[in-house]
Structure 1
Amino acid sequence: MELLKTGAYLVNGTEIIEDTPEAAAQLQAVIGPNVPSKEEAAKGTIAYGILEAHNTSDNMDKLKIRFDKLTSHDITYVGIIQTARASGLEKFPMPYVLTNCHNSLCAVGGTINEDDHMFGLTCAKKYGGIYVPPHQAVIHQFAREMLACGGAMILGSDSHTRYGALGTMAMGEGGPELVKQLLNQTYDINMPGVIGIYMTGEPIKGVGPQDVALAIIGAVFQNGYVNNKVMEFVGPGVEKLSADFRIGVDVMTTETTCLSSIWKTDDVIKDFYDIHGRAGDYKELNPAPVAYYDGMVKIDLSKIRPMIAMPFHPSNTYTIEDMNRNLMDVLHDCEQKALVSLDGQVDFKLTDKVHNGKLYVEQGIIAGCAGGGFENLCAAADIIKGKSIGADEFTLSVYPASTPIYMELVKNGAAATLMESGAIVKTAFCGPCFGAGDTPSNNSLSIRHSTRNFPNREGSKLQNGQIASVALMDARSIAATAANKGYLTPATDLDVEYSGRKYHFDSSIYANRVFDSKGVADPSVEIKFGPNIKDWPKMSALPENMILKVVSEIHDPVTTTDELIPSGETSSYRSNPLGLAEFTLSRKDPAYVGRAKEVRAAQEAVEADKNPAEALTELAPVIDAIHTKYAEITNENIGIGSTIFAVKPGDGSAREQAASCQKVLGGWANIANEYATKRYRSNLINWGMLPFLIEKGDLPFMNGDYIFLPDVRKAVEAKASEFEAYVVKDGSLVPFVLKMGELTDDEREIILKGCLINYNRQ
């Protein structure tokens, strides 16, 4: 794999010319005298054409996108619809699919999860949406089977919203961005860069889509090569990949931190649409004869070998061959990295899993939008046929991504083959990906064909001394490991005859169970509200001046969404803003919630025109120090809130709750060296929080310090990029500077109003 250090031209889809001083002459030699400018050639990407078709502004540098369709699941849709209802929603203006694949284990939290489902069903009826009942399909498989269209754009509230292999540019964002679409507003971004992913060659037998995906993630994550850009898959190697293989690579592009993805399409994708009874939704997509890319990743698929992403990130990658050759060194290195990820809270060991020179794992899972595809599960069945997973600790669970896939596996015998080996075949469910269902025992190592292996996603609770970990692998090598009774084995080590079973899609399954309003709203329907479904609390507008207390300080290189608001068992509370907020940072900084509430009490005193120092006595000397320079500060013009510092927060999930939980606890800002993803920064903005930046280096403040921001409201109104700030300590005001990245006019107004709900109400 090679990452070009410059941009590049792609000529006729097959020839790469790097953007060097010689590029013009090289282009002229290939295409003749009519060489397009770089700016014109940049319009030749597939991505540019789709964005242009969906842009409602007259400026392609400042996009205002309207999407064709929306998707959400049962961890996010309640909050989204509640926000939209509070903002005046009357009808879904576009197809909006509500799937139930995250909180579908309704034993968790008593009746809470099923109450959310009834909320979703009644909202689909009232506002004109589509409702997919639990266990029918994971969100992304339903979208592939029933929603994706060539040249279309889909916005989803799950970060793995990626349907580029089918010719659909899809993006995963926090819920407020879906609210904007429901209220006929736009998704506002600068024109993103486009990175070509140029594929040649063909994967060898035993190598699957997760192997290719992990190889790409390992090459581009740390250096930010595709961060907030569009990955465009081109080159002759694409044609060598099946639709399922492309889909399996595509869904993992989220872990590169790219904005979106798109692939060239061909007869293989046309067949996919034909199989699903949607031939009219296919569209052939190719770059123009000359297309310019802001960067280029060159991949020889024949050189990819079975991969493993060790704890605790999808970019912590090795070939399984290298892993087995240097086993103790790799495991020791992972243990050292874990000291940072886990803050030394538990004694994390991997080296003790080496038995007779081989790595033994306790669990295997093939699941969800990444692993649960038809070809992955058929290949796993071929590998494990006639073998046993054994009767020891190792277990194997398989989750087909949809009921139509499950039924086809039953019909063609693959399900029986898997079960005969000792594997358990379960219904469509995303739980293993985010820590609900199949949580391993303490100190276990799980290998999974799923999307993420962040700390705590598999059910660990460090504060209770519980730890397990996940390594990501392809279904084929997981099956090979299962056939070897839990000892790590790449699929290429086994001589397997793959059956190449053909897929047949049965649409009657969805026709019989999925509620589809066909876009017709019924205002007479009463929404069903369970007792755990709560409205958003009132949120104040941005004050003229602000006192912030730093209530958490995180120096990990990257802080994931799951560390900001844990997934797993907390999911039952995602319809209850204040109830969920109790879990904020609980696995990273358990003292955070108490500290934030203390500060919130001071703001509540201000709003009641009482002395905030009576609610939080340590404020008295802070206010006195501020008055030495700013005597005019009173309850009338001050706000008191909390903030956190993190080096690079927001990697991973799109869940808005990572920001909204801070907000309802009184948070008014984040301070970071940089933000890991656009979607986390957008979540902060949409919940009225200031996404401050500070230069890398020694911080002028520490956890527990107070920061004073004079005239902060005027600075936002004036479109300031730098903010005057003071650390208030020992009776003194110590100045420093906070910065702010670019904001659109609407984003600035949302912050001024206090949140998106207030913005739309007013």
Structure 2
Amino acid sequence: MIQLYKNGAWLINGTELVEDSPEAKAQIQQKYDKVVPGKEEAGKNTIAYSILQAHNTSDNMEDLKIKFDKLTSHDITFVGIIQTARASGLERFPIPYVLTNCHNSLCAVGGTINEDDHMFGLTCAKRYGGVYVPPHQAVIHQFAREMLAEGGKMILGSDSHTRYGALGTMAMGEGGPELVKQLLGRTYDIKRPEVVGVYLTGKPVPGVGPQDVALAIIGAVFESGYVKNKVMEFVGPGVENLSADYRIGIDVMTTETTCLSSIWKTDDKIKEFYEIHGRGGDFRELNPKEVAYYDGLVYVDLSQIRPMIAMPFHPSNTYTIEELNANLMDILEDVEKKAQISLDGKIPYTLKDKVKNGRLCVEQGIIAGCAGGGFENICDAADILRGASIGADAFTLSVYPASTPIYMELAKNGVLADLLQTGAVVKTAFCGPCFGAGDTPANNALSIRHSTRNFPNREGSKIQNGQISSVALMDARSIAATAANKGRLTPATEYAGEYRRPVYHFDGQIYENRVFDSKGKADSSVEIQFGPNIKDWPSMPKLTDNLLLKTVAEIHDPVTTTDELIPSGETSSYRSNPLKLAEFALSRKAPDYVGLAKEIQKAELAREQGENPVKAVPELEGVWSKIKEACPEADVENTGIGSTIFAVKPGDGSAREQAASCQKVLGGWANIANEYATKRYRSNLMNWGMLPFLIPEGKLPFRKGDFIFVPEIRKAVEEGSREVRALAVGETVTEFTLGLGEMTEDEREIILQGCLINYYRAK
């Protein structure tokens, strides 16, 4: 089904594979009668390399300085981004910047604050020259597919699922500060990423959808980190057997592999997609050159993929539905054991009570968002459900088309009526079910969803309130087959009926009527409309000569998600208010974190005001005495005091910068980890002036409650040191080493200045 090459791979004429070996070049030359370049040169023949090269503003393809063509944000990120850019000197949007409103669309929490954010976005689009997409019109990524993507271009978005590779656009999801850099004319600075080929062959069998293919790939690559921070390039003859919608459905889920970005070869089906949307001129045919080299390869036989399910609580916890049904109790037992790691044993959790008459029964189905809400997904689901009923019991089914143009076409071609007749509910374009702000199931319920993630509490329940429900990810087709069986888990391959596959007609008049487009013209006379919840960032100190950090959280889960660092759901309403949002930091994982961080922050606030920090936090007296014994040169006046957390592998999941900024506004100076789950989370830390420390696995000389003294940290950052000396101060004082990892010159300067805002003010 899926094979990961142990070595790199050569692709010949876009179709033939040769795994790398000492004999590979000679074999290729003999078989294909071609002059074969070296790996380095052949690596430049990928689609990814050509696009990166076209957008690199440096004279060095090893150290990239990328300028993107367009930017996208939604309503739980754009306020903070624009506020940061305004504080740093923003005068106008230098490139197209689209502000969508698909996360806090319901305006259901906190009184006026969500709609205040929307009006802030509208007035900023007018003042600075942007595009504003009102609530319920489209989810961010569908609007980008329909209106923004272009062959060979690059888009940067402040949402982790910013992926438009199937349309020939290399897109990346990053934290807000990276968009701020683009708004201020700066660049996205990274080492040239490796490129991993994803070679598709064969054709999916009826009933297997894009989510099935995506989950199979995620399950194969996630744990090993095979594509982590790399570009996935989809090639091979199997691509031609997939429609544009199908490719899009696979592509959007590449985020869950932890890759940096994705790109696909393009053909007439993608050209047709652009033409349907009235943008035929934006198509560009993309293919690797005759002989291309990939740093790794994922071989996917589409004909062998079967309906998949990702069990709680991660998209990589995958099984075929057939395998699950055949080994039900054993697999559920394993899922429950894994769940207790994520839940810290804080709450009883079982799925075995879902088994009735030997079948797994679920209470809810959702087809939604950037992954599930596509036209073909919904039409195929409707075909499976046609003439059936979802029943009058606990099971419910909600469908969210990804844009109003899709919704209108479903109304015109009768699919909407087919769905409603079954008892399903069809709602407007909204991302809520994906992050816990819509269709929260009942306590102990299991929901099956064609959406992007199934982390704990991402469906809206709250462990801290004694609630638990969970999500399994599936394709829309198998969700429909399950719905037709009143909630009994059923793979869509059991459906023997016909898929009608109606033709899609895009009606752009909807957007012309409702979307504000400045056409790039800024109007400085427009006053920005604020609300009482929209607050400026608090002042943040520069990095001091030394640091004294209290460890206020210690997390030993294999992976810590951004949802656990700062919860999603209703907390999203407070993302325009840094201090209010910070009150929720780590609330699901370490409920005492906020209080502990605030307590030690008192010392730093006193120090900044010229007062004695020991008086503000008396426990520092004994700690400081031990530090002076070990480091007589230590200076309390130039030692920043604050908090840090340890987590094995933090940052999986969302691009949300608030996972880092909330720690910062509570006095955080650093994270300490064995590794960082994603490049974007590590970047978020540095953009907020926090040190991304590293420590080898299994070598932890401190525990929660201990202090860590890091002498001469400012000097180490200035000099680009890769390691720094540190002292763990507990019952005894233990010297150890913290890694700093590789940083660009700008990243070091941002940390020295204290955050990105300070950096730009200094400029």
What TM-score, normalized by structure 2, do the two folds share? 0.99
Structure 2 counterpart of 1:505, one-letter code: F
1:345-403 deviation digits (Å, cap 9, x = unpaired): 11001001000000110000000000000000000110000000000000000000000
SS at match of 1:655: coil
Equivalence for 2:255:
254
Q: Give the Å deviation of 1:442.
A: 0.2
Equivalence for 1:439:
440
Equivalence for 1:102:
103
d(CA) in 1 for partners of 2:559, 2:733: 31
SS at match of 1:628: helix
d(CA) in 1 for partners of 2:539, 2:699: 36
d(CA) in 2 for partners of 1:480, 1:33: 50
Q: Give the Å deviation of 1:29.
A: 1.4
Equivalence for 1:666:
667
SS at match of 1:636: helix
Equivalence for 2:536:
535
- In the TM superposition, what are the counterparts of 1:102-181 in structure 2 within 5 Å? 102-181=103-182
Equivalence for 1:759:
759
Equivalence for 2:55:
54
d(CA) in 2 for partners of 1:613, 1:413: 71
SS at match of 1:150: coil
**2:743 paired with 1:743:** yes
Q: Give the Å deviation of 1:463.
A: 1.5
Q: Give the Å deviation of 1:733.
A: 2.7
1:579-637 deviation digits (Å, cap 9, x = unpaired): 00000000100000000001111100101111111211111101111122333433431
Q: Give the Å deviation of 1:461.
A: 1.1
Equivalence for 1:574:
575
Equivalence for 2:67:
66
Q: Give the Å deviation of 1:33.
A: 5.3
Q: Give the Å deviation of 1:734.
A: 1.3
Equivalence for 2:311:
310
Paired residues of 2:723 and 2:741 also in contact (CA < 8 A): no
Task: Select between 171-180 and 494-503 the one with higher mean Cα deviation.
Answer: 494-503
d(CA) in 1 for partners of 2:210, 2:573: 32
Equivalence for 1:211:
212
d(CA) in 2 for partners of 1:358, 1:203: 26
Gaps of 5+ in 2: none
Task: Select between 505-514 and 27-36 the one with higher mean Cα deviation.
Answer: 27-36
1:86-126 deviation digits (Å, cap 9, x = unpaired): 00000000000000000001122211100000000000000
Structure 2 counterpart of 1:663, one-letter code: K
d(CA) in 2 for partners of 1:594, 1:677: 28
Paired residues of 2:482 and 2:491 also in contact (CA < 8 A): yes
Structure 2 counterpart of 1:590, one-letter code: P
SS at match of 1:562: helix
Task: Select between 25-34 and 620-629 the one with higher mean Cα deviation.
Answer: 25-34
- In the TM superposition, what are the counterparts of 1:157-556 in structure 2 within 5 Å? 157-556=158-557
Equivalence for 2:644:
643
SS at match of 2:21: coil
d(CA) in 2 for partners of 1:285, 1:729: 58
d(CA) in 1 for partners of 2:258, 2:25: 32
Q: Give the Å deviation of 1:459.
A: 1.2
Structure 1 counterpart of 2:740, one-letter code: M
- In the TM superposition, what are the counterparts of 1:607-646 in structure 2 within 5 Å? 607-646=608-647
Equivalence for 1:599:
600
Equivalence for 1:91:
92
Q: Give the Å deviation of 1:665.
A: 0.2
Task: Select between 8-17 and 628-637 the one with higher mean Cα deviation.
Answer: 628-637
Paired residues of 2:702 and 2:730 also in contact (CA < 8 A): no
Q: Give the Å deviation of 1:464.
A: 1.3
1:717-749 deviation digits (Å, cap 9, x = unpaired): 11111110001123x431000001100000000
d(CA) in 2 for partners of 1:505, 1:379: 18
Gaps of 5+ in 1: none
Structure 1 counterpart of 2:758, one-letter code: N
- In the TM superposition, what are the counterparts of 1:668-687 in structure 2 within 5 Å? 668-687=669-688
Q: Give the Å deviation of 1:668.
A: 0.3
Cα-Cα RMSD = 0.7
Structure 2 counterpart of 1:737, one-letter code: T
1:443-489 deviation digits (Å, cap 9, x = unpaired): 00000000000011011211111000000000000000000000000
d(CA) in 1 for partners of 2:741, 2:549: 20
Task: Select between 148-157 and 601-610 the one with higher mean Cα deviation.
Answer: 601-610
d(CA) in 1 for partners of 2:250, 2:34: 38
d(CA) in 2 for partners of 1:631, 1:358: 68
d(CA) in 2 for partners of 1:339, 1:633: 43
1:205-254 deviation digits (Å, cap 9, x = unpaired): 00000000000000000010000000000000000000000000000000
d(CA) in 2 for partners of 1:635, 1:300: 62
Structure 2 counterpart of 1:104, one-letter code: S
Q: Give the Å deviation of 1:48.
A: 0.1
Task: Select between 721-730 and 703-712 the one with higher mean Cα deviation.
Answer: 721-730
Q: Give the Å deviation of 1:37.
A: 1.2
d(CA) in 2 for partners of 1:343, 1:566: 16
Equivalence for 1:734:
734
Paired residues of 2:363 and 2:394 also in contact (CA < 8 A): yes
SS at match of 2:319: strand
d(CA) in 2 for partners of 1:635, 1:214: 52
Paired residues of 1:609 and 1:635 also in contact (CA < 8 A): no
Structure 2 counterpart of 1:225, one-letter code: Y
Paired residues of 2:127 and 2:525 also in contact (CA < 8 A): yes
Paired residues of 2:567 and 2:584 also in contact (CA < 8 A): yes
d(CA) in 1 for partners of 2:234, 2:54: 20
1:272-305 deviation digits (Å, cap 9, x = unpaired): 0000000000000000000000001111100000
d(CA) in 2 for partners of 1:36, 1:499: 47
Paired residues of 2:208 and 2:477 also in contact (CA < 8 A): yes
Q: Give the Å deviation of 1:698.
A: 3.6
1:299-326 deviation digits (Å, cap 9, x = unpaired): 1100000000000000000000000001
d(CA) in 1 for partners of 2:693, 2:464: 30
Structure 2 counterpart of 1:2, one-letter code: Q
SS at match of 2:630: coil
d(CA) in 1 for partners of 2:585, 2:633: 35
d(CA) in 2 for partners of 1:30, 1:155: 41
**2:78 paired with 1:77:** yes
Equivalence for 1:655:
656
Structure 2 counterpart of 1:530, one-letter code: G
Task: Select between 365-374 and 609-618 the one with higher mean Cα deviation.
Answer: 609-618
Structure 1 counterpart of 2:595, one-letter code: G
d(CA) in 2 for partners of 1:334, 1:291: 41
Paired residues of 1:605 and 1:612 also in contact (CA < 8 A): yes
Q: Give the Å deviation of 1:750.
A: 0.2
